[in-house]
Amino acid sequence: MPNQSSPAVIIAGGGPVGLVVALMLGRAGIAVTLFDQGDIVHSQPRAATIHPATLDILDDLGAYALIEPQGIVCPIVNYYDGKLLLASFDHALLKGETRHPWVLQCEQDKLSRTLFAMAKAIPNITFRTATKVTGCSQASGAVEVIVEAAGGGQERHQALYLIGADGARSTVRTAVGVEFEGFTYPERSMIIGTPYDFAADGYAYRNYIADPDEWYNLFKISWLGPPGIYRLVVPLRPDEVVDGDHALATAQCKLQRFNPRPESYEIAFYDSYSVAQRVAATFRKGRVLLAGDSAHLNSPIGAMGMNSGIHDAVNLAESLIRVLCGGESDASLDRYERQRRHVATAHVQTATITNKQNMEQRDPVKRQRYRDEMRRRAEDPLLAKAFLMRTALIDSLRDAERIV
Ligand SMILES: Cc1cc2nc3c(=O)[nH]c(=O)nc-3n(C[C@H](O)[C@H](O)[C@H](O)COP(=O)(O)OP(=O)(O)OC[C@H]3O[C@@H](n4cnc5c(N)ncnc54)[C@H](O)[C@@H]3O)c2cc1C
């Protein structure tokens, strides 16, 4: 058993998922230690879209009022086929289903900084940055976690539960021997930020652009500047180089191919990444629970990774609070696994795999079917609302609640 001074819960990873779990457990009076191998507030370009269902959750946590001024409120999302606008959806159709019938474009590091500042104010949460979780084992009612601190020294910590919120390459998931089932796409994608104002060319703040030659996702992600930053996500062909000096030239070429202009684009940042569709074989192994990217990975098209990870975090924190403070049986943690693994496989994987297929569809018959379907949805308010209920992840939360 852990001794008196041990935390009840150890969290590996201080991304948005680990921070939400820490915040909720800490507020419930549970002693928590969170280890992060980095500094928590790194600003690599990643998530920027926060859907209505997640905004409701962040509002309940008191975070929404803090992030809204840092983001861009976007009720509209547009779908194109090449240059042809197929469909425009207004999240106002979700009034009555959510308190936030819009998407907030707010970069992940801004959310993390906000959640970190909130959680740091809670005395029973201990943060250990620059400290890497390297392994864990379970025995006699406790879990032992091995960490390597900044100076290189090894430490052992005990707790009742360990949460693996340590991202795609999760050490915790590997340490407990859970398979990460699925596949990785052969091609990489590129993400490019520019202060160029695509609104002047008629684009909304959120645009999905299907194209059999080269698809694009174009989002305004901040007001930085002003005029602010638009972000283009685009697949890389195998012959396109993204190493060293070539990366900037490739980014310029991608922007020019998307929207040719005589002048060069100013490039604020660029990065490339690989995309996988994977779900952990189980989200629970005894006293070890997985959440967020350590439990599931998906293509960013549709913006569901961080959003669904935050939904895991809330479900898991509420389950642990019922067990640790409400006397509920530990077996009830299996419900977390049943509900959230179902969402990962039946909602997020299905939607994101289909989104990518639609973006890059080369078969003319399937492409025409996609065009017709999007136009029909946009013209019929009932179909449009049903579509937004899925993309905004409201359906997935309600579906999970039905699982006992
Ligand atoms: C280009 C791109 C765009 C995206 N856009 C969106 C979007 O718009 N909306 C959306 O919902 N999702 C989006 N995503 C996905 C989103 O970024 C992830 O789903 C999200 O970061 C998952 O959060 P997390 O807390 O689970 O993991 P992470 O954010 O990866 O955090 C994991 C944390 O664990 C720490 N860590 C790792 N290993 C260890 C260890 N051994 N010991 C201690 N600490 C460790 C890391 O330092 C890190 O702080 C995007 C992803 C990419 C790549």
What pLDDT, in 10s, does the model give residues 107-148? 999 999 999 999 999 999 999 999 999 999 998 799 999 999
Q: pLDDT at position 134, please?
A: 98
* Cα 362 to middle of ligand 1, angstroms: 31
pLDDT at residue 16 tops 90: yes
Among the ranges given (156-165, 176-185, 233-242), the one the predictor scored with the smallest mean pLDDT: 233-242
Local confidence band at 3 (pLDDT 50, 70, 90 cut-offs)? low
So what's the pLDDT on residue 139?
87
**Ligand 1 centroid, distance to 142 Cα (angstroms):** 27
CB-CB contact of 305 with 298 (8 Å): yes
| Residue 242 confidence (pLDDT) | 81
Using 50, 70 and 90 to split pLDDT, how confident is the model at 240?
A: confident
Amino acid 1: pLDDT: 54
pLDDT tens profile 25-68: 999 999 999 999 999 987 788 999 999 999 999 999 999 999 99
Q: Is residue 234 scored above 60 in pLDDT?
A: yes
Does 243 score more than 90 pLDDT? no
Q: Strand 49-50's sheet: what is its strand order? A: 49-50, 103-105, 72-74
How far apart are the CA of 211 and the centre of ligand 1, in A?
28
Mean pLDDT of 94-112: 97
Among protein residues, the one with the nearest Cα to ligand 1's atom 37 is: 166
> What is the reported pLDDT for 122?
98
What does the pLDDT average to over 365-377? 97
Whether residue 2 is predicted with pLDDT greater than 80 in this model: the reply is: no
Spatial contact of 81 and 367, defined as CB atoms under 8 Å apart = yes
**In the predicted structure, residue 337 carries a pLDDT above the cut 90:** yes
Please say if the pLDDT value at position 241 is more than 60: yes
The CA 154 to ligand 1 mean position distance, Å, reads: 25
Is 172 in a helix, a strand, or coil?
A: helix
Closest atom of ligand 1 relative to the 36 alpha carbon: 44
Take atom 30 of ligand 1 and give the residue whose Cα is closest.
Answer: 167
Please tell me the predicted confidence (pLDDT) of residue 89: 98
Nearest residue by C-alpha to atom 50 in ligand 1: 47
Q: Which uninterrupted H or E stretch holds 279?
A: strand 269-280
Q: What is the mean pLDDT of residues 310-315?
A: 98
Residue 211 clears pLDDT 60, i.e. is over it = yes
360 CA to centre of ligand 1 in angstroms? 25
d(Cα 229, Cα 288) in Å, to the nearest integer? 40
Task: Please say if the pLDDT value at position 5 is more than 90.
Answer: no
Q: Helix 305-324 vs helix 333-342: angle between axes, to the nearest 10 degrees?
A: 170
Residue 387 to residue 389: CA distance in whole angstroms = 5
Q: What is the mean pLDDT of the chain?
A: 96
User: Atom of ligand 1 at shortest distance to CA of 305?
Assistant: 19
Q: Which residues line ligand 1 (CB under 6 A)?
A: 12-18, 35-38, 40, 46-49, 108, 132-133, 165-167, 171, 191, 273, 292-293, 300, 303-307, 309
Residue 314 confidence (pLDDT) above 70: yes
Tokens of 222: 């901040």
pLDDT-wise least confident of 243-247, 293-297, 328-332: 243-247
> What pLDDT does residue 310 have?
98
Q: In the predicted model, is pLDDT for residue 4 greater than 70?
A: no
Predicted local distance difference test score (pLDDT) of residue 264: 98
* Distance in angstroms (rounded) separating the CA atoms of residues 399 and 390: 11
Q: Which two tokens stand for residue 93?
A: 């159709």
d(CA 111, CA 180): 27
* Cα–chain center distance at 233: 15
Residues 311/392, Cβ–Cβ less than 8 Å = no
Whether the CB-CB separation of 325 and 30 falls below 8 Å is answered with: yes
Residue 207, pLDDT > 90, answer: yes
Residue 87 CA to ligand 1 center (angstroms) comes to 30
CA distances from 351 to 120, 187, 215, 281, 303 (A): 35, 19, 17, 19, 10
Per-residue model confidence as pLDDT tens digits over 150-163: 888 999 999 999 99
- Size of the chain in residues: 404
